[in-house]
């Protein structure tokens, strides 16, 4: 699904040198290399403050903690998302409130958010899924109208913009993940928070550092979530190449679009013209095809595929509730039955794209 080895070999000299610099410095936790990466990412995104942390899930938790929500407060999220979005809410004693998604973008259906607001609602957490932004105009209008916070889960769409504004910098706080398969991925775990609010930035930094502003003096309850310097060094190198990586992904997506558009069994990804699409995933919606059979056929031909995601949040065992019976979020449930993601990364060659598309077109159920 992602050729991390091929990508590494292209930039091997830069990566190896950057890692050796960290080892020679013996500054493995925080330090000047982490600070440099945070500053460079801030400049790249056009967002004033970047706070690096241990992973994308920690970033979401730190963001929620910084808003000082109380147990029982409600956070609105999409029903179709990776489970970390709901997980951090539940871990903090907050209540995830689900909303169905747009069948075209797969992001939260902003037109349905207002119906989910109650007197306990404190925050909206849109997820910019697969590389494309949520309708942030509507989200921010609703948030302003009801005096709500907005946390953008931007783990899959780093570098993308919505109407010229950087995703992750439109709401009060944005978060991302540097998991290795991400568009900007490290060689382990990593994450970050973004904000244009200096006070929130300070809170997020302190919370991720055991709640301390000064060493051994703890003014807040915090957690231990720090990006290590080796990962920061890798990310500094990759950040310099990120635009090229995105361009390669977009070129591959255009090839898929052209090769598959005539086959009505495959609905190619919709592009919202208000948002960039940086293609963390290239996700098809299938019609009239048995997905497991298709995946088995692709596998026999050496082509990987994945299902993101096989179950919506409300049908996951840990999150089942009488409040959210099966059938309540029909779009999310249908997508879980029909989506399939095919290889998408910066190292795809035209012959590989042709081979994948030929296999898809020639598949017979």
pLDDT for 365: 81
Indicate the SS3 state at residue 282: strand
Q: d(Cα 186, Cα 179) in Å, to the nearest integer?
A: 6
pLDDT for 53: 98
Q: Cα separations (Å) of 224 from 14, 50, 69, 162, 358?
A: 30, 17, 20, 32, 48
Strands 49-53 and 191-195: what pairing? antiparallel
Q: Cα separations (Å) of 10 from 13, 41, 213, 235, 245?
A: 8, 21, 40, 15, 12
Q: d(Cα 255, Cα 25) in Å, to the nearest integer?
A: 44
pLDDT in tens, 17-28: 999 999 999 999
H or E element, residue 68: none
H or E element, residue 53: strand 49-53
Residue of 139, 126, 134 lying closest to 78 (CA atoms): 126
pTM (two decimals)? 0.96
pLDDT for 30: 87
Task: Pinpoint the residues of the chain covered by CATH 3.90.1150.10.
Answer: 242-362
Q: d(Cα 154, Cα 192) in Å, to the nearest integer?
A: 10
| Radius of gyration (C-alpha) of the chain in whole angstroms | 21
Q: Taking CA 253 as the corner, what is the angle to CA 250 and CA 258, rounded to the nearest 5 degrees? A: 130
Residue of 153, 157, 82, 91 lying closest to 123 (CA atoms): 153
CATH 2.40.50.140 fits 242-362, yes or no: no
pLDDT mean across residues, the chain? 97
Q: Is 76 left (phi over 0), alpha (psi -120 to 50) or beta?
A: beta
Below-70 pLDDT ranges, the chain:
none
Looking up tokens 């942030």 gives 136
13 backbone dihedrals φ, ψ, rounded to 5°:
-60, -45
* 4-236: CATH topology: 3.40.640
Task: Pinpoint the residues of the chain covered by CATH 3.40.640.10.
Answer: 4-236
First to last CA, the chain: 23
Q: d(Cα 194, Cα 125) in Å, to the nearest integer?
A: 14
Looking up tokens 């207002």 gives 114
Q: Taking CA 280 as the corner, what is the angle to CA 293 and CA 303, rounded to the nearest 5 degrees? A: 30
Q: d(Cα 230, Cα 234) in Å, to the nearest integer?
A: 6
Indicate the SS3 state at residue 152: strand
Q: d(Cα 108, Cα 345) in Å, to the nearest integer?
A: 25
pLDDT for 337: 98
Q: d(Cα 233, Cα 51) in Å, to the nearest integer?
A: 15
pLDDT for 153: 98
């Amino acid at each position: 699904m992602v050729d991390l080895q091929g990508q590494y070999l292209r930039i091997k000299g830069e990566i190896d040198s950057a890692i050796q610099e960290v080892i020679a410095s013996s500054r493995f936790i925080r330090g000047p290399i982490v600070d440099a990466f945070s500053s460079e990412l801030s400049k790249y995104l056009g967002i004033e403050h970047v706070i690096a942390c241990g992973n994308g899930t920690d970033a979401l938790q730190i963001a929620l903690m910084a808003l000082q929500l109380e147990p029982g407060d409600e956070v609105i999220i999409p029903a179709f998302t990776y489970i970390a979005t709901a997980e951090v809410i539940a871990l903090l004693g907050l209540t995830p409130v689900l909303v169905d998604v747009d069948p075209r973008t797969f992001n939260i259906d902003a037109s349905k958010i207002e119906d989910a607001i109650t007197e306990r609602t404190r925050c909206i957490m849109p997820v910019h899924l697969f590389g494309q932004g949520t309708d942030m105009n509507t989200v921010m209008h609703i948030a302003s109208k009801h005096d709500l916070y907005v946390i953008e889960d931007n783990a899959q769409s780093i570098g993308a913009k919505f109407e010229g504004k950087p995703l992750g910098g439109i709401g009060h706080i944005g978060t991302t993940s540097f998991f290795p398969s991400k568009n900007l991925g490290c060689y382990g775990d990593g994450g970050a928070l973004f904000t244009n609010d200096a006070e929130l930035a300070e809170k997020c930094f302190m919370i991720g550092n055991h709640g301390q502003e000064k060493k051994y003096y703890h003014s807040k309850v915090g957690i231990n979530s720090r990006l290590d310097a080796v990962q920061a060094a890798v990310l500094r190198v990759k950040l310099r190449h990120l635009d090229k990586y995105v361009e390669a992904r977009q070129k591959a997506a255009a090839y898929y679009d052209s090769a598959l558009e005539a086959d009505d069994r495959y609905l190619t990804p919709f592009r919202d013209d208000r948002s960039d699409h940086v293609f963390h995933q290239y996700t098809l919606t299938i019609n009239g095809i048995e997905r497991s059979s298709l995946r088995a056929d692709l596998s026999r031909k050496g082509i990987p595929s994945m299902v993101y995601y096989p179950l919506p949040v409300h049908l996951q065992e840990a999150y089942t509730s009488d409040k959210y019976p099966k059938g309540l979020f029909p779009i999310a449930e249908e997508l879980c039955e029909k989506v399939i993601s095919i290889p998408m990364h910066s190292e795809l060659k035209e012959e590989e794209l042709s081979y994948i598309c030929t296999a898809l077109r020639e598949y017979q159920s």
